[in-house]
Chains A and B, each alone.
Chain A
Amino acid sequence: MITLDHVVEIALLVLFAYLAGCVLGYSAHLAVRAFAARPRFEARIRAQAAANIQKESVDAPEAPAPRSAARRLAGAVEREVAEPAPAAAAPTQQRPPELPAPRGGKPDDLKKIKGIGQKTESALNDLGIYHLDQIAAWTPAQIDWLEGRIAVKGRIGREQWVEQAILLMTATVPV
């Protein structure tokens, strides 16, 4: 026999479930919308980072570039690709903008990006890449260029270095 108390309790439980569903649905919709809006935000950060790098490249004083093994290798590969057949050089590859020295003399900890270890960080530094915003501004052509020198083909995209850099930057750049 169902008592009146039980009916009231059932009604309350169903009402609670309905309200919880409402809140959950509203929150889920908000989250989905925020996620959909993310690329536009990324593009803004990317543009900002690119502008920043261009400005720094112009402003930075000329300093002697360190000649490490990775830099020499990069130079050698560049000459190899450029000299025998300039027309055959892949037009999709482009060297990313480099800095002669870290801004303020203090490079970012690139190892915060999952997939970048001590060796890769050193190689990136040798190529004039010291900051997360430089990585965040990489284009596909620049990633192609870098993958021929410091990483296995497809690794930068697979490990989402650029996206990770953007995320790490958003934790520090005020919106």
Chain B
Amino acid sequence: MAALLDSALFLVGVYWPFMAVAGLVGLVTGWFSLSRDQGEGAR
């Protein structure tokens, strides 16, 4: 478990720009997945 965590931390340190881009894409996707009608209907 500790080895896996170490490995993950190392990879995050090296590949964080890719993760950041993926997070950004996810952010945009999440934002636009809430459609106007869905939001109005939710209230």
Give chain A's interface residues, CB within 8 Å of chain B.
5-6, 9-10, 13-30, 33, 37
Residues of A within 8 A of B27 (CB): 21-22, 24-25, 28
Q: CB within 8 A of B22: which of A9, A18, A25? A: A18
Whether B7 lies near A21 (C-beta < 8 A) is no
**Interface of A: prevailing SS:** helix
**Interface of B: prevailing SS:** helix
| A157 and B29 alpha carbons, distance in the complex (Å) | 39
Give chain B's interface residues, CB within 8 Å of chain A.
4, 7-8, 11-12, 15, 18-20, 22-34, 39, 43
| A30 and B34 alpha carbons, distance in the complex (Å) | 8
Q: CB within 8 A of A24: which of B20, B30, B34? A: B30
Q: CB within 8 A of A26: which of B12, B20, B31? A: B31
A-B contact pairs, 7 of them (CB 8 A): A10-B18, A13-B11, A14-B19, A18-B25, A22-B26, A28-B27, A30-B39
